[in-house]
Amino acid sequence: MSEKAKEMEEEFSFKCPTCTNGTIKLTKTVYDMTDGDKMLIVKFECNECMFTTNDVIPLTTRIEPGIISLQVTNESDLKSKIYRSPVGILEIPELEVLVEPGPRADFYYTNVEGILERFQNAVQIYRNSLDGDHEKQKEIDEILNNISKAIKGDFKFTLVITDTGGGSYIIPQDESKYSYQKLDTPQLSDE
């Protein structure tokens, strides 16, 4: 951790809700990324049961809801940064893969290659759960093959994040491959 990040660190503590015996130490650190972004890293850790969880929250983000797209056509595009908020739906239509947030969805920050690796792991787990002669096995193997090609930059695809709450963003390697479409959200009436 950089000296600058250490200077900005704050600590709080409270009773552990998991074991009720220990004390949770909450540490908040603002971390300066090399590209000028700032991230808030929050860590919860119990001194008794060793419960621990982390959250990474970007401090530089797009607030309004929208559909964010990135055309990935080469290996360089795999380095584009991706930040998905807990309400963001992430999809790669050409690979037939989609992640919808669940009730305990977290923020996550990675790059396009990291997204592909997450999809590859999830599809592989599903593939391993199938019987040896399952009818979908060939289709799943094709998806895994295409994901492997995509990780090498040899498969063109579109990464789409639909975020109805705002907060997700993409920092592309090539701005010409990026698009953003604002989502209209219904206004609450005063009735």
E strand intervals along 52-177: 52-58, 66-72, 81-84, 88-92, 97-99, 108-111, 157-163, 169-171
The predicted model scores a pTM of 0.70
Per residue in 26-58, pLDDT (tens digit) is 888 887 766 566 778 888 899 999 888 877 777
Per-residue model confidence (pLDDT) at position 140: 93
Cα 19 to Cα 45: distance, rounded to the nearest angstrom: 12
Average pLDDT over residues 83-93: 91
**Based on the domain organization, do 156 and 91 belong to the same domain?**
yes
Domain presence at residue 189: no
Show the domain range for 36: 3-58
Contacts of 53 (CB under 8 A, 6+ apart): 43, 44
Domain presence at residue 23: yes
Helix, strand or coil, per DSSP, at residue 175 = helix
* Neighbouring-strand partners of residue 24: 14, 46
Per residue in 114-132, pLDDT (tens digit) is 999 999 999 999 999 987 7
Judged against a pLDDT cut of 90, whether residue 93 lies above it is answered with: yes
Distances (CA, A) of 107 to 91, 166, 177: 16, 12, 24
Q: What is the average pLDDT score of the chain?
A: 84
**Based on the domain organization, do 10 and 71 belong to the same domain?**
no
